[in-house]
Structure formats: C-alpha cells, structure tokens
Amino acid sequence: MPPELAFDARSSWKNHLGNQSIDPLRIYEPESLEQVAAIVGEAGRIGATARAVGSGHSWSDVALGEGFVILTGQLSRVPAAEPDFLRSDWADRHLVRAGVGVRIKELNAYLDEQGLALSNMGGYDHQTVAGVVSTSTHGSGITFGPLNDFVRSIDLVAGNGRVYRIERAGGPTDPAAYAAHHGNERILRQSDAMFDAVSVSMGCMGVLCTAMLEVEPKYFLKEVRTFHTWEQVRADLTDGEVLRRNRHYEVLFSPYRRKHAYPCLVTTRNYTESPERKALDKRMRNWAVELASAFPLTPHIINLLVDLKPSLCPFLLENAIRALIKDEYDEVSYKVLNIGAANVLPAYSAEIGVPMDGRHLEAVDRIIEVAAERRGLGEAYQSSPLSFRFVKGSPAYMSMMHGCDTMMIELIQLTASKAATSCSPPTSRRCTRSAAARTGGRSTR
Ligand SMILES: Cc1cc2nc3c(=O)[nH]c(=O)nc-3n(C[C@H](O)[C@H](O)[C@H](O)COP(=O)(O)OP(=O)(O)OC[C@H]3O[C@@H](n4cnc5c(N)ncnc54)[C@H](O)[C@@H]3O)c2cc1C
C-alpha cells in the first residue's frame, strides 16, 4: 500500500439521517480508480471486506461495511478522467461518463451547461450516481426504467483490485482501442448477463468508479397536480390510458376514507416549451407548502399534533394532499422532477414493488384494510400520504423492477411520530427499497 493512501481507523460512518452507523476497520477516501484498486487489493490480502458508500441517503443498513469503507466524494469528476474509446456507431449519441461520487444535482448542473439533461430521475437529487445506480433508484413514468437502465458502461474494481469495464453486448467501447491502451491490466467485458449482474448490486459486486449515462437534449416539463378520489384514480389506472398518455403520472394517496372517499393527488408531468416568459407563479411550486416543509419546526408540530390526537391523521393527510394542488408549474426538467422541499422533512421511507400484472391495484385495497385494522387495534396511523409510481421493468437482476413493469408503493413515516410507530413492526418502515431488493425484492402485505 503506497504511504500516501492514508486511512482513518478511529472514525464511525453514519448515514445521512443518522439512523445507521458502523465502526469499520478503516475508512478511505480515494481520488482515482488506481487508488481504489490498491485499497481493494489490500483488503483482499488481509481478508477484509471492502464496501463503497455514496452520500448515505439509504435509510437501511445497505451501505454498512465492517471492513474497509470507501468514501467516493473524491471520485466526482464530470466528465470522468477515464477515456471512453467510443465505437464509431456510438459517436452521435448523447453520452456522459461521470465519476460515481458526483451528486445528481451536480450532474444536472453540468448537463444543463452542455444543453443536455437526464431522461428521468428520482424525486430527489442529493444522491450519488453510484448510489442511485446500485440501488435501482427510480422516478415515475411507465416508459422509463430505473436510473440504472440509462447506464451504458461501468468501470468497476472487483475482488483483489482487478479493474473491469463492463457493458452490454455491442456496448460503446471499441475493444481494440481499449486493449491497445490498457493491455492486460484491465478487462473489458461486453455481456448482457454480466452487466445485469453488476449494475444493481448494493455494493456487493465491487466498487463502481465511473458510469457512462445516456442522456438527452435539455427539455422543459409542465407539472399539474389535481385532487381526485381513489375511486376515480382506480378506474383510470385500470384502464391504463393515463399511464400511456402522460410522460410521468404518479399518485399521492390517503388510506383513510373522508366524506365517503379516499383522497388522492394526481401529478402529471409532460413536455412543454421553455417557460422563460411565464409569470413567476407558473414557474414555482406552491411557495407556502415549500416554506412550511423547509421550516425546521414543522415536523415537530406535526408530531406533537398526531401524538396528542392520533385520530387527526386522516384530516392532516387529506389537507397535506389538498395543499399540493397546483394547476401549472413549468420549469427545466430536473427542477420539476425533484419533488422539492418535502425531501427535507425528517422521515423514513420503505417501498413495496408490485408487478403490474392486472391485479396490482388489489395491493391498494389491502393497504386500506390494513390501515383500518391498525387504526382500530391501537390508534396507529400512517403519518404521511402514500405514493404510487409506475416504472418500466428493468433487466438488472437485483432491481425491484426486474423483469416486469412495477407499481412502486412508497410508505413514508415522519421519524418521531408515536401515533405511527406504536403498532407496527419497526422493520417495515426502516427497510428501504434497496434493502427489500437485496432480500429478494417484491412483497405485498
Ligand atoms: C430524501 C430522499 C429521497 C429519495 N427519493 C427517492 C426516489 O425518488 N426514488 C428512489 O428510488 N429512491 C429514492 N431515495 C433513495 C435513494 O435514492 C437511495 O437510497 C440511493 O441509494 C441513495 O444514494 P447514495 O449516494 O446516498 O447511496 P448510499 O446510501 O451511500 O449507498 C447505497 C448503496 O450503494 C452502494 N454504493 C454506493 N457507492 C458505490 C460505489 N461507488 N460502488 C459500488 N457500490 C456503491 C452502497 O454500498 C449501498 O449498498 C431517496 C432517499 C432520500 C433520503
């Protein structure tokens, strides 16, 4: 191990929310792929595990490693230092190879400057590229797979420090040019099976160092948020046309009947022209909601209210849904795809993936039953609306969306609400989508 590769043996690693932590053997922060290879090689020699972490935004223990923890904050160059060696038939496509430690928000800023944009993203932008790829982070829109499906090439350090470039068959790298440059030191594998095994792997198949993403020219979106009842939304989803007609379609839902109906907010996002000349109000989300979400006391006030009087939850959920109604928000794509200040509320989230096999809406019927049961048994309530997003099937083996279009049901709970926690097993809220994928993926309650 070169002496300049310093490590920290005395610190703990904590995730972003602070609900997961570990005291690993060593913590490294490499600056290059070669340094990652040296660290993983050293781990192999002494029999320690090595696990890379991104920005620690997973709520589960999916990023915890007992051996060498590899922080990726210094692997964040865009474009990455590793050359592409592009085949000529890939030359006209919009491709960017990024260092995997770059945050989505930084990548968006870089792409914007280049007149480019991600085709889709999750509802948040503080995660790293490797973090979203490794856990198959998704947004909404039935024509879009999760973010790993936009990756075309990966540079990865595997066991004992061997360096691989992994792509699908016919991938972007010219094998002859790659071999001429790297000789036997690096291995190019262009195989669908290998790509589908390593792209989504929760850090278990080596350390990603760069990822090449296919992107598109910069575009603008119009977001419309309207109030509906579940009965209307269920009928629309059964027909399915709303999913095909809208680029993005997602639902926020309260499992508590109010005035004979279950409240829903439907959000659609579709292409629009540049909103440059639009009034400020059309270029902003509801400012009062944004302000209230970002206000540090808001979660404490909500927790206090629901702890004092848990039966307020159905009322609060309906009003949270109604507060988000907005007839028009037009902006550059990545600002509209980011759901905004709701992301900063202290909360845990878990997701259930239900294959869209014609019976997926029955999962919502079951959720309504469970919510009523829990309410009756011990005044236990869901403290935030549920979200339903619809994602195209992914070929990645460990993706929750593997092999079929999937309805992703997100259960969000504020961190400290007794009303919500008193009656449910903690694991149901604290396992993330990625942990669920790791343990076999899909489940319906
Ligand atoms: C506010 C918020 C909003 C969110 N919104 C969404 C959403 O809309 N849709 C969605 O699907 N998810 C969402 N998530 C979940 C989030 O996208 C994932 O948990 C994501 O993995 C976090 O990325 P990270 O960079 O923090 O990775 P980490 O949490 O640090 O790590 C996640 C996994 O990736 C592995 N990993 C990280 N870097 C590497 C690397 N270089 N090589 C190999 N493995 C690596 C880790 O070992 C770990 O297994 C959200 C999370 C938060 C906190």
Local mean pLDDT, 10-residue blocks, the chain (445 residues): 76 94 97 97 96 96 96 97 97 98 98 98 97 98 98 96 98 98 97 98 97 98 97 97 98 94 97 93 88 84 86 93 95 96 85 96 97 93 94 98 98 72 35 34 30
The SS3 assignment for 124 reads coil
Atom of ligand 1 at shortest distance to CA of 51?
A: 47
Ligand 1 and 154: CB distance under 6 A? no
Name the residue at shortest CA distance from atom 48 of ligand 1: 63
Alpha carbon distance 49, 160 (integer Å): 11
Atom of ligand 1 at shortest distance to CA of 55?
A: 26
Q: In Å, how far are 123, 238, 250, 344, 402 from 242, measured between CA atoms?
A: 20, 10, 10, 30, 23
The Å distance, Cα 221 to ligand 1 centre, comes to 25
194: which 2 tokens?
């290998």
Q: In Å, how far are 28, 48, 71, 73, 76 from 51, measured between CA atoms?
A: 10, 10, 9, 14, 17
Using DSSP bridges, classify how beta strands 326-332 and 220-229 pair: parallel, antiparallel or unpaired: antiparallel
52 DSSP β-pair partners: 70
Residue 355: count of CB within 10 angstroms of its CB: 18
Residue 416: predicted pLDDT: 66
DSSP 250-312: EEEE-SS-BTTB-EEEEEEEEEE---TTS-GGGGS--HHHHHHHHSTTHHHHHHHHHHH-GGG
Q: In Å, how far are 146, 214, 244, 293, 330 from 325, measured between CA atoms?
A: 27, 33, 22, 15, 14
Ligand 1 and 63: CB distance under 6 A? yes
The Å distance, Cα 103 to ligand 1 centre, comes to 11
Residue 422: predicted pLDDT: 37
The arrangement of strands across the sheet holding 95-99 comes to: 95-99, 207-214, 151-157, 163-167, 186-190
**Helices marked H in 97-191:** 104-113, 129-134, 175-182
The secondary structure of residue 342, as a DSSP letter, is: G
Ligand 1 and 30: CB distance under 6 A? no
Alpha carbon distance 285, 342 (integer Å): 12
Cα separation of the two ends of the chain? 49
